[in-house]
Amino acid sequence: MSNTTNEPDGHEGHGGRTPVPMPVARFDDPHMQEAATHPQRTERIIALSFVLGTLAVAGFGAAYWVDGPPWVLAVTFGAGLLLLGFGLTAWGKYLMPQGPFVEERHRLASTADEQDAMSAALVQRTGVVVKRRRMLGGLFAGGAGIFGIVAIFPLLRSLGPVPGNTFDVTNWRRNSLLVDSNGRPVRVDTLQVGGIMTVFPAGAQNTEEGQAVDQTVLIRVSTDDITTQPGRESWGPRGYVAYSKLCTHLGCPVGLYEQQLQLLVCPCHQSMFNVLDGAVPNFGPAPRPLPQLPLKVDSSGHLRAQAGYDQAVGPGFWERTTR
Amino acid sequence: MSTTEATEPRAKRIALPRTKREAQAALGPYGRTGKIVGELDERFGIAKGGRTLLDKIFPDHWSFMLGEIALYSFVVLIATGIFLSLYFVPSADQVIYHGPYKPLDGQRVSAAFASTVDLSFSVRSGLLMRQMHHWAANVFVGSIVIHMARIFFTGAFRKPRETNWIIGTTLLIMAILNGFIGYSLPDDLVSGTGLRIAYSILLSIPFVGSYLATFLFGGNFPGTLIIPRFYIIHMLILPAIIAVLIGVHLGLLVRQKHTQFPGRGRTEHNVVGSPMFPTFMAKTTGFLFMVSGALALLGGLAQINPIWQFGSYKADRISYAVQPDWYMGWLDGALRIMPSWEWTGWGHTLPWEVFFPAILFPGLVFNVAFGWPLIERMFTKDNELHNLLDRPRDRPKRTAFGAAFFAMLFVMFLASSTDVLANYFHVSLNVVLWFFRFAVFVVPLLTYAATWKICREMQGVRGIGKRKRALVVTRTASGEYRTEPSAPRPGDERDELQPEPVPVLIELEPGVTVPERTSPVDGAVGAGVRQVKR
C-alpha cells in the first residue's frame, strides 16, 4: 500500500492552485453581513414580492383559462415574473454573502517548457511523417481543396436560375392593352386631367410577376404643361403619360403623386420624379428617370402600348446596359 | 483470514436501514445532498470541479449585466419562437382570409400572412407571444450594442479577450440579420417592402449581384420560395449558429474569468466579487425573470408590428407608414442621404448610390469593429494581458473615437426619418437632406473633440468616480448649525473592505464559539474589518 502523503502537490486544492486555508466565517463579519440597512424590513419586502408574484402568475393562469384580453395576460404574466425576479435579485443582493471575496486567476498559458514540448511534437512528427511524403500531402490537399470548391456549387447554384435577361424584360409588348388591377381596360376617358392609376398589360394584372415587374403608373396631365422629351413626341396621347412604377433607386413602388408640383414620390427614400418632364429625378438618391411606356389610343378608344419599355425597369445592376 | 475474505465483498452491498436513525446515519453528515453528490461524483467526478464552480467569483458592477439582458432576451426569443413555429405557415400560397379580423375578411392574402393574423387573434395568448417575440428581438439587438459599447469603452476587448470580442461582433451581425429575416416572414406590407429593398441591394453588387439575387430568391422578385427559405434560416440555421456562438462566448468568459474595475485589493491576478453560489445565482436568475417580465409587459401592452393594419403584401402597394425595425435605421438613413451617383459605361452599371451605403459602408463598419483590438494594438504596441478594466476617461483617444463612431451611426439613424423631421419642423425636405449630408461628417468630428476634452478635464478632477456623501445640516438647541457627512451607503462600505476568500459557513450551536481566524490575504486586516459595524 502506498503512502498517501507522497501524492503530487497538484492533487490538492483546486485545479493545482496553491491551496489557501479556508477560513470559517463569523456571522458578524461584514463580508457575510447583509448590505441592507434594515435586514428584517428587506426580508419582509422580498417575502411580499414573492407572494404578490405568485398571485400574479396564478392570475395569469386564471386569465388564460377564461381567455382574457391580451393586456390582462400581459399584466399578470409580466408583473408575476417581474415580482418573482425582483424578490430573487433582492435576496441575492441584500441577504446573501456579498464579499468582496477574492479568487486568484491562474495563468492560462502553459510553461515555456510545455509550449516547447507541444511545438516540438508537432514539428518533429510533421517532419518525419508528412514532409517525407510531400507528394501524398499535396495530393490530399488538392483533393480537399477541389472538394471545398465543388461543395459550393450545389449550395449556391441549385438555389435558383441564372439571371439571363430576367431584369431586362417585362410583359409589355407592342399593342399590349392597358388594364387596371381588376382587369378592366383603360379607355381614353377613364381618367380626368390630374387623375392617376396603376395599370398592367392585360393578362398580367393578377400574376405576381405582373404586379412586381410590369406595374406602371398612368397619369393624365394637361397637354399644355408637358415638356416632351426629344424622340417621345407621340408617347403621350391626350395628356396620358405612363411610367414604370418601380423606383430606379431600390425598386419600391413610386406610389405617391404630388399633384400640385406634378411629382411622383417614392415613400421609401424620398426620391422625386418630375411627371411633366419625362420623370427625371429632381430630388433624392434615385439616379435615373423612370422608364416611360409609349402609349397610343386604338380605334375603339382603348389605351395600348406602342411597344414595351426601351430599357430595364427598376434599380441598377451590373449587367444593365446604358441608354 | 477466511472471515475477512468472506465479509469484504458483502460490505459493498447495500444494507437496508431498519430505523429512521439508521437511515439518517447511512446518508452521512450531509444527508440527501451528500448522497446525491456522492453518487454523481462516482460516475462523473464532479465534486472537486463543482466545489470550485460554487466558489467562482463574479465581479460586481452594474454594467456587467448588459450582456445578461442580451442572453435572457435570447432565451425569451427561443421560448416564444417555439410557440410561434407551431402556428405559422411559411408559404406564399394565396388563400382567402376568413377570421375574426373583419376588415380583412374575404380578402386574398398569402398563407404566411393569414396564419400570422390567425395566431394573433385566434390562438390563445398568441398575440402576447408574437409581440413578446418581436420586442425581445429589438431588445436583443439593442442590449448587444450597449454591451459592446461597455466592452469597447472599458478596454475589455484587449488581450486575452480579442476572440470573444470577435465572437460578440459576429453575434451582433447574426442578431441583426435574423431580426430582419424574422420581420420579413409574415408577408405584410413592411416585410414585402423590406424584401424588395434587400433584393435591390443584392442586385447592386458588381459582377455577381444579379446572380446572388436570383439564387437567393429562386428567380426574379418576389417569387414564392423566399418565405420558406427565410423561415428555415430564421428558425433553424441562424439560431443554431447564435446558440453555439453564445456557448463559446460564455465558455471563454468562464475560462478567462471576468474582467474587473480597479479598486481595493483588485489586481491583474485576482478576481474580486461575490460567489457563484448562492449570491450570483440568485441575482442572475432573478434577472432572467425580470427581463422576461419586462418583455411580457411590452409584448402585451405596447403594440408592435400590427400587420393587419398594413395588409398583405402586394408588390404594387406602398405606404409612408412602412418603416424598418430600429437596428436597420442607420442603413436606411445612409441610403437616403447618399447622392445619386450611378456609374455607367462599357455596357455596365455600377449603382454607387446603393452599393456604397448598403454594402461597402456596413462592411467597413463591421470590419473596423472586428479589427479594433488589432487596430488599437498597432497604436499602443501593447502585448500585455489585461484583466483590469480602463476607466473611459483614462483612454481619451479610444473613448473619443468610440463616441464619434456612435455619433456617426446615430446621425444616420436620425437621417432615416428625414420625411418625418421635415414634416414635424415644417422645413423643406431639401434642407433636412442637406443638413444630414453635412452632419454625418461634422457631428462625429465635433463629438471626437468634445469627448477628448471632457476626458482630459475629468482626469484632473479630484475624487472623480467616487460617490459623494451628502452633508447633513443640523441645528442644535442653541441655534448652532453643524454639517456632518451622512453615513456611507451599504454598497460603498463594502467596496472599502479587504477582499477575502469565500469562507466555509458553519451553523453554530448556541454557546459554541469559533476560533479567531487569520486572514490569508493580510493578517492585519482582521482588526480593521471588525470596526465596520451595523
* A contacts of B218 (beta carbons < 8 Å): 159-161
| Smallest Cα distance from B79 to chain A, Å | 14
The reply to whether A79 touches chain B by the CB within 8 Å rule is yes
Taking CB atoms and an 8 Å limit, are A317 and B285 in contact across chains?
no
| Smallest Cα distance from B475 to chain A, Å | 25
* A contacts of B45 (beta carbons < 8 Å): none
The reply to whether A87 touches chain B by the CB within 8 Å rule is yes
Name the residue among A235, A179, A189 with its Cα closest to residue A211: A179
Q: What is the pLDDT along chain B (534 residues), one digit of tens a residue?
A: 444 444 454 555 666 777 877 777 777 777 888 889 989 999 999 998 898 899 899 998 999 999 999 999 999 999 999 999 999 999 999 999 998 899 999 888 999 999 999 999 999 999 999 999 999 999 999 999 999 999 999 999 999 999 999 999 999 999 999 999 999 999 998 889 999 999 999 999 999 999 999 999 998 888 889 999 999 999 999 999 999 999 999 999 999 999 999 988 899 999 999 899 889 999 999 999 999 999 999 999 999 989 998 888 888 888 776 678 999 999 999 999 999 888 888 888 999 999 999 999 999 999 999 999 999 999 999 999 999 999 999 999 999 999 999 999 999 999 999 888 988 999 988 899 999 999 999 999 999 999 999 999 999 888 777 777 888 899 988 989 988 888 777 667 777 788 888 877 765 555 555 444 444 444 333 333 333 332
Name the residue among A266, A232, A274 with its Cα closest to residue A250: A266
* Banded model confidence at residue A75, pLDDT cuts 50, 70, 90: very high
Name the residue among B331, B434, B285, B501 with its Cα closest to residue A32: B501
User: Would you tell me how many other CB atoms lie within 10 Å of the CB of residue B19?
Assistant: 8
Cα gap B137→B178, rounded to integer Å: 9
* B contacts of A167 (beta carbons < 8 Å): 203, 210, 220
Helical H segments across B45-161, by residue range:
47-54, 66-85, 111-121, 126-153
Q: Which pLDDT score is estimated for A15?
A: 43
Reading the block at residue B488, the C-alpha cell is 456611507
* A contacts of B225 (beta carbons < 8 Å): 160
Amino acid at residue number B444: P
Cα gap B210→B198, rounded to integer Å: 12
> Nearest chain B Cα to A323, which residue?
B347
**Helix, strand, or coil (residue B96):** strand
Looking only at the bridges linking them, the beta strands covering B57-58 and B270-275 are antiparallel
Reading the block at residue B457, the C-alpha cell is 478635464
Q: Classify domain A178-305 by CATH number.
A: 2.102.10.10
Map out the domains of chain A as residue ranges: 24-94, 115-159, 178-305
Cα gap A282→B29, rounded to integer Å: 86
Taking CB atoms and an 8 Å limit, are A74 and B200 in contact across chains?
no
Reading the block at residue B200, the C-alpha cell is 435591390
Q: CB within 8 A of A151, min separation 6: which ones?
A: none
Paired with B482 in beta bridges are B474
From the list B55, B287, B500, which residue is nearest A23 (CB)?
Answer: B500
From the list A27, A101, A181, which residue is nearest B57 (CB)?
Answer: A101
> Nearest chain A Cα to B356, which residue?
A285
Cα gap A208→B403, rounded to integer Å: 46
Reading the block at residue B472, the C-alpha cell is 447633513
Cα gap A152→B503, rounded to integer Å: 57
For an interface test with A, the pick among B196, B202, B217, B498 (most A C-beta atoms closer than 10 Å) comes out as B196
Which domains, from first to last, does chain B contain? Answer: 2-54 (no CATH), 61-325 (1.20.810.10)
Cα gap B223→B72, rounded to integer Å: 36
Name the residue among A86, A84, A102 with its Cα closest to residue A94: A86
Taking CB atoms and an 8 Å limit, are A89 and B283 in contact across chains?
yes
The phi and psi torsions of B96 (rounded to 5 degrees) equal -95, 125
* A contacts of B217 (beta carbons < 8 Å): 160
Cα gap A209→A197, rounded to integer Å: 19
Decide if B183 contacts B305 (C-beta within 8 A).
Answer: yes
* A contacts of B288 (beta carbons < 8 Å): 85
Q: Which pLDDT score is estimated for B300?
A: 92
> Nearest chain A Cα to B512, which residue?
A26
> Nearest chain B Cα to A34, which residue?
B490
Q: Which pLDDT score is estimated for A219?
A: 92
| Smallest Cα distance from B19 to chain A, Å | 34
Reading the block at residue B456, the C-alpha cell is 482630459
Paired with B147 in beta bridges are none
> Nearest chain A Cα to B56, which residue?
A103
Reading the block at residue A114, the C-alpha cell is 510545455
Q: What is the arithmetic mean of pLDDT over A155-170?
A: 87
Helical H segments across B416-428, by residue range:
418-425
Decide if B35 contacts B28 (C-beta within 8 A).
Answer: yes
For an interface test with B, the pick among A64, A102, A261 (most B C-beta atoms closer than 10 Å) comes out as A102
Q: Hey, what's the torsion of the CAs at B249, B251, B255, B256, to 10 degrees?
A: 10
CA distances, B390 to each of A104, B127, B386, B398 (Å) = 20, 44, 10, 11
CA distances, B511 to each of A123, B256, B396, B514, B517 (Å) = 67, 44, 58, 10, 18
* A contacts of B417 (beta carbons < 8 Å): none
Name the residue among A251, A214, A257 with its Cα closest to residue B194: A251
Cα gap A201→A189, rounded to integer Å: 18
* B contacts of A82 (beta carbons < 8 Å): 289-290, 293-294, 297
Triad B150, B153, B157: Cα angle to 5°? 80
* B contacts of A273 (beta carbons < 8 Å): none
Q: In A193-283, where do the E strands start and end?
A: 196-201, 216-220, 240-244, 256-258, 263-265, 272-274, 280-283
* B contacts of A320 (beta carbons < 8 Å): 344, 348-349
> Nearest chain B Cα to A108, which residue?
B256
Taking CB atoms and an 8 Å limit, are B290 and A86 in contact across chains?
yes
Decide if A251 contacts B351 (C-beta within 8 A).
Answer: no
Reading the block at residue A309, the C-alpha cell is 419599355
pLDDT at A59 over 60: yes
Taking CB atoms and an 8 Å limit, are B494 and A100 in contact across chains?
yes
The reply to whether A319 touches chain B by the CB within 8 Å rule is yes
> Nearest chain A Cα to B265, which residue?
A102
Helical H segments across A128-205, by residue range:
134-156
* b/e A242-256 (16+ beta carbons within 10 angstroms → b): bbbbbbbbbbbbbbb
Does A25 or B287 have the greater pLDDT score?
Answer: B287
From the list B200, B287, B317, which residue is nearest A85 (CB)?
Answer: B287
Taking CB atoms and an 8 Å limit, are A101 and B500 in contact across chains?
yes
Helix (H) or strand (E) holding B197: helix B189-203
Q: CB within 8 A of B166, min separation 6: which ones?
A: B370, B373
B-facing residues of A in 207-236 (CB < 8 A) are 208-209, 211-213, 215
Decide if A232 contacts A241 (C-beta within 8 A).
Answer: no
Helical H segments across B460-522, by residue range:
490-495
* A contacts of B162 (beta carbons < 8 Å): none
**Helix, strand, or coil (residue B534):** coil
Q: Which pLDDT score is estimated for A227?
A: 80
pLDDT digits (tens, 9 = 90+) for A203-237: 888 888 888 899 999 999 887 778 888 888 888 88
Does B292 or A40 have the greater pLDDT score?
Answer: B292
Taking CB atoms and an 8 Å limit, are B223 and A64 in contact across chains?
no
Taking CB atoms and an 8 Å limit, are B518 and A21 in contact across chains?
yes
Taking CB atoms and an 8 Å limit, are B520 and A249 in contact across chains?
no
pTM of the model: 0.89
The reply to whether A1 touches chain B by the CB within 8 Å rule is no
